[in-house]
């Protein structure tokens, strides 16, 4: 039923623009998350002592905890960053493309 | 329909009361905890409320879309809470607190591994899932491939995950309820099974969603309250909390760094892969993406879910650390009242004892009821996902080849959930004395190796053909199960052999790449006419995935 519409969407240069922009953004964020996460896992696996460093000179609480909590917070903020752009900028282009294709 | 509903609810209630009555004589027995009146009263309020919701939902469930996906009418925030409710099981509350209590930072590493799948789902999957799917994730994998074959393997993958996960939850539920409420093990398992079937059969996705939302709020609220009360005893100073934990734990300073638990790099990497990508392949989680009206709301739900999960895991870690001092230094929580002997009720109890330590019987009762509610919500989500795989994938699209009416499909689904309930109860009773810890790992391993690779390839790779999808799924499923069976957790611990055949317990590092490789190999060597047609059909799918045009929208009520 919609193959014709899909083709019209596909031919719209804005479609390519949307896909390129959104993909670049999504993959960049993914790379940041995976990169940080796997560096962390590698440290856990190979250099665990590094994380035992106290937060304050002579203190007991180690940097491991704030690093862990920081990762959780950062990753959540990045998901927020993504939907801020996706739900406004990208979705606007998107609805424009669809409107253009069905008219 | 409504009369049946009432009858069922009455039976459920009667069974629960019967359980209570039978539990009473057990109060004096040694091993079980005394009957916990606070917990039982609060749990009954929860059960009554959820049965009320189920009744309300049953009246609104008219079409297949209402039944499977709540008619696409759930908002992003509601769905986010429900996803969190689906994802955070009692094992999260009890197991991860206990892990931090005994192992320190290793517990928090586990939390982070469980968490990191969420941002990934947000960036790479959420919007495509919503744009392509309808009721089950097999809708996506089979979008342009052979319906019968691809749906069959997807359903096998889903059911494998669901059954292992259900067994783990059932056994956990039985043990927990026996401990917290003073009920017999089998009665607890039957109550969980009956309530699960009632929610799913009568209320479908609408009831399941609201049970999960309520449970998520209770769990977050209860956990936060206990965490704050505990943390306040250290003046909200993390340094003070850490100093006392280190002083009072057998592990000492080792609490503050990654320990022996993840010392082997292969296990660490494999576990982290399995937990991360397994999350993205759990059928009951994926199904939740079809309950929102569009991609915008799907993204919002991941945002909310990520916040809830991340926050809760951090609260759990603080609870674990606080329990080292507040529970570990209080003789009343140990067998025989002796510090250093076994914890009363077993190693999973630090969270519960902590609730008692900071808030007395009232708080213990509340957290016990929350733990029970948590189990109910998780098993309901699992049962619905399993029943949908049977009715929507196997029955409607494989057996009837798309010719079944909606009414038929829903009827089959309801019967399937009943069958799944019976199986879950029976297996729960059979596995009572077994160590089922490996089953959650196995469920995640299969999700990461059998479901995830084919799902992600079907969305992103034009070249995937039916043959590739089948090869990939089967390779992932078989290798993940085989590795777990031959590893220490099953081969030695369960089967009683002397040495494991496979040295590592976590399958994902091996089985996931194998699944990807086989999916690739099966596809590139596939030169059939069908394969060419399937590759061509990617174009339309791609446009729909990107724009959401033609996606199943919210049902008009």
User: Domain-by-domain residue ranges, chain B?
Assistant: 2-432
ipTM, two decimals: 0.94
Average pLDDT, chain A: 90
Looking at the DSSP bridge assignments, the partners of residue B460 are: none
Within an 8 Å CB–CB cutoff, is residue A49 touching chain B? yes
Mention every residue, 6+ apart, whose C-beta is less than 8 A from residue B384: B200, B204, B205, B208, B284, B287, B417
Residues in B 86-145 with any Cβ partner in A closer than 8 A: 105, 108-109, 111-112, 115-116, 118-120, 122-124, 127
Q: Are B253 and A52 in contact (CB under 8 A)?
A: yes
Q: CA–CA separation, B146 vs B124, rounded Å?
A: 24
pLDDT value at residue B25: 34
B118: pLDDT strictly greater than 80: yes
Contact status of A91 with chain B (Cβ, < 8 Å): yes
- Give the C-alpha separation, B80 to B87, whole Å: 11
Judged against a pLDDT cut of 90, whether residue A101 lies above it is answered with no
Whether B30 has a pLDDT exceeding 50, the answer reads no
Nearest to A72 among B122, B257, B310 (CB): B310
Q: Which residues contact B147 (CB under 8 A, 6 or more apart)?
A: B397, B398, B401, B402
Mean pLDDT of B406-435: 91
Nearest to B326 by CA among B359, B283, B369: B359
Which of chain A's residues have a Cβ under 8 Å away from the Cβ of B239?
A: 55-56, 59-61
Count CB pairs under 8 A between chains A and B.
Answer: 164
Residue of A23, A24, A55, A79 to mutate, interface with B, max B Cβ within 10 Å: A79
Asked if B283 and B389 count as a contact pair (C-beta separation under 8 A), the reply is yes
- Cβ proximity of B165 and B443 under 8 Å: yes
Contacts of A17 in chain B (CB under 8 A): none
Dist. CA B2–CA B6, nearest whole Å: 6
CB-closest option in A22, A65, A97 to B108: A65
Residue B1 pLDDT > 50, yes or no? Answer: no
Collapsed DSSP state (helix, strand, coil) of residue B15: helix
Predicted confidence (pLDDT) at residue B511 exceeds the cutoff of 70: yes
Tokens read off for B189: 């398992």
pLDDT (0 to 100) of residue B4: 53
pLDDT (mean) for B19-29? 35
- Express each pLDDT in A36-52 by its tens digit: 998 998 898 888 889 99
- Token output for B511: 């089985």
Residue B516 has pLDDT above 70, yes or no: yes
The chain B residue lying nearest A3, using CA atoms, is B540
Query: For B329-341, what is the mean pLDDT?
Result: 87
Alpha-carbon distance B99 to B487, whole Å? 22
CATH of B2-432, one of 1.50.10.10, 2.160.10.10, 1.20.1730.10, 3.40.630.10: 1.20.1730.10
Kindly list the residues from chain A whose CB atom is less than 8 angstroms away from the CB atom of residue B310.
72-73, 75-76
For B49, other C-beta atoms within 10 Å of its C-beta total 14
Q: How many CA atoms lie within 13 A of B382 on its CB side?
A: 30
| Percent of chain B scoring above 70 in pLDDT | 92
Contact B531, B466 (CB under 8 A): yes
Instruction: Point out the least confidently predicted range of A80-94, B175-189, B454-468.
Output: B175-189
Percent of chain B with pLDDT over 90: 61
Question: Which residues of chain B make contact with A68, given a CB cutoff of 8 A?
Answer: 105, 108-109, 111-112, 317
* B296 interaction partners in chain A (CB closer than 8 Å): 86-87, 91
Domain count, chain A: 1
- For the ranges A64-73, A89-98, B238-247, the lowest mean pLDDT is seen at A89-98
Strand (E) positions, B222-326? Answer: none
pLDDT score for B21: 39
Give per-residue pLDDT as tens, B467-507.
999 999 999 999 999 998 998 888 888 888 889 899 888 89
Task: Kindly list the distances between the CA atom of residue B248 and the CA atoms of A66, B95, B229, B347, B353, in Å, as whole numbers in the listed order.
Answer: 21, 20, 19, 17, 16
Cα–Cα distance for residue pair B242/B237, rounded to 1 Å:
9
Looking at residue B427, its pLDDT comes to 92
Query: Mind telling me how many Å the CA of B192 is from chain A's nearest CA?
Result: 33
DSSP sequence for B422-449: HHHHHHHHHTTTS--HHHHHHHHHHIII
Query: Which chain B residues are within 8 Å of A83, Cβ to Cβ?
Result: 122, 299-300, 302-303
Residue B557 has pLDDT above 70, yes or no: no
Are B251 and B257 a contacting pair, CB within 8 Å? no
Which of B142-146, B433-437, B467-471, B509-513 bottoms out in mean pLDDT, i.e. has the lowest? B433-437
Specify the residue for token string 């691809």: B150
Mean pLDDT of B189-195: 93
Q: In the predicted model, is pLDDT for residue B261 greater than 70?
A: no
Closest-CA distance, A70 to chain B, in angstroms, reads 10
Phi, psi of B140 (to 5 degrees): -80, -50
pLDDT bracket for residue B154 (50, 70, 90): very high
The parent domain of residue A50 ranges over: 3-102
pLDDT over 50 at B262, yes or no: yes
Q: Which residues of A touch B109 (CB under 8 A)?
A: 44, 68
Please provide the average confidence, as pLDDT, over all residues in chain B. Answer: 88
Q: How high is the pLDDT of residue B266? A: 85
The SS3 call for residue A54 is: strand
pLDDT at B29 over 50: no
Residue A2 reports pLDDT greater than 50? yes
Q: Do B550 and A68 touch (CB under 8 A)?
A: no
Per the CB < 8 A criterion, the answer to whether B185 and B43 are in contact is: no
Q: Which of residues 11-30 of A touch B (CB under 8 A)?
A: 15, 18-19, 22, 26-27, 29-30
The pLDDT of residue B28 is 30
pLDDT band at B556 (very low <50, low <70, confident <90, very high): very low
Contact B229, B220 (CB under 8 A): no
Q: What confidence score (pLDDT) does residue A103 get?
A: 73
Q: Rounded mean pLDDT of B61-75?
A: 90
Q: What tens digit of pLDDT does each residue of B268-325 get? A: 788 888 988 999 999 999 999 999 999 999 999 999 999 999 999 999 999 999 999 9
More confident call, B554 vs B145: B145
């Amino acid at each position: 039923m919609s193959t014709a519409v899909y083709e019209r969407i596909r031919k719209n240069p804005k479609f390519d623009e949307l896909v390129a922009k959104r993909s670049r953004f999504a993959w960049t964020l993914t790379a940041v998350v995976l990169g940080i996460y796997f560096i962390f896992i590698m440290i856990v696996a190979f250099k665990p002592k590094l994380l035992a460093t106290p937060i304050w000179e002579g203190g007991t609480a180690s940097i491991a905890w704030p690093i862990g909590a920081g990762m959780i917070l950062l990753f959540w903020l990045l998901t927020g960053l993504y939907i801020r752009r996706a739900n406004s900028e990208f979705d606007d282009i998107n609805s424009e493309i669809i409107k253009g294709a069905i008219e | 329909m409504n009369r049946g509903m009432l009858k069922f609810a009455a039976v459920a209630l009667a069974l629960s009361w019967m359980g209570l009555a039978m539990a009473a004589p057990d109060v004096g027995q040694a091993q079980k905890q005394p009957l916990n009146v606070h917990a039982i009263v609060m749990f009954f309020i929860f059960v009554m409320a959820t049965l009320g919701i189920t009744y309300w939902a049953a009246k609104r469930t008219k079409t297949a879309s209402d039944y499977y996906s709540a008619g696409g009418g759930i908002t992003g925030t509601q769905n986010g809470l429900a996803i969190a409710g689906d994802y955070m099981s009692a094992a999260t509350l009890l197991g991860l607190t206990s892990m931090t209590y005994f192992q320190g930072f290793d517990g928090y590493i586990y939390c982070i591994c469980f968490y990191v799948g969420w941002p990934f789902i947000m960036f790479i999957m959420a919007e495509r899932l919503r744009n392509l799917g309808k009721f089950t994730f097999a809708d996506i994998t089979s979008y342009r491939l052979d319906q019968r074959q691809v749906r069959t393997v997807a359903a096998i993958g889903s059911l494998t995950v669901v059954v292992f996960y259900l067994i783990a939850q059932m056994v956990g539920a039985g043990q927990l309820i026996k401990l917290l409420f003073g009920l017999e093990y089998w009665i607890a398992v039957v109550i969980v099974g009956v309530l699960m079937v009632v929610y799913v059969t009568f209320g479908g996705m609408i009831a399941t969603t609201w049970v999960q939302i309520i449970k998520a709020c209770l769990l977050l609220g209860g956990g936060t309250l206990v965490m704050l009360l505990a943390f306040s005893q250290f003046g909200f100073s993390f340094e003070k909390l850490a100093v006392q934990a280190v002083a009072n734990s057998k592990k000492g300073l080792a609490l503050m760094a990654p320990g022996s638990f993840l010392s082997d790099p292969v296990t660490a990497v494999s576990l982290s892969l399995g937990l991360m990508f397994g999350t993205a392949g759990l059928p009951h989680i994926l199904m939740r993406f079809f309950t929102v009206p569009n991609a915008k709301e799907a993204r919002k739900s991941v945002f909310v879910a990520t916040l809830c999960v991340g926050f809760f895991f951090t609260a759990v870690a603080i609870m674990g650390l606080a329990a080292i001092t507040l529970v570990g230094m209080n003789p009343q929580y140990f067998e025989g009242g002796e510090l250093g002997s076994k914890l009363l009720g077993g190693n999973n109890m630090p969270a519960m004892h902590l609730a008692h330590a900071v808030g007395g019987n009232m708080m213990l009762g509340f957290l016990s009821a929350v733990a029970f509610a948590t189990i109910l919500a998780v098993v309901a989500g699992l049962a619905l996902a399993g029943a949908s795989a049977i009715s929507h994938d196997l029955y409607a699209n494989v057996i009837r080849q798309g010719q079944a009416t909606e009414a038929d499909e829903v009827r089959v689904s309801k019967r399937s959930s009943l069958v799944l309930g019976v199986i879950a109860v029976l297996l729960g009773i059979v596995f009572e004395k077994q160590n089922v810890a490996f089953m959650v790992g196995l469920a995640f391993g299969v999700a990461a190796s059998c479901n995830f690779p084919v799902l992600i390839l079907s969305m992103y790779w034009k070249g995937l053909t039916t043959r590739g999808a089948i090869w990939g799924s089967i390779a992932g499923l078989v290798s993940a199960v085989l590795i777990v069976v031959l590893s220490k957790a099953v081969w030695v611990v369960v089967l009683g052999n002397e040495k494991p055949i496979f040295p590592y317990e976590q399958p994902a590092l091996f089985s996931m790449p194998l699944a990807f490789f086989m999916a690739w190999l099966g596809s590139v060597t596939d030169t059939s006419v069908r394969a060419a047609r399937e590759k061509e059909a990617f174009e339309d799918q791609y446009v729909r995935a990107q724009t959401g045009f033609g996606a199943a929208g919210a049902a008009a009520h």
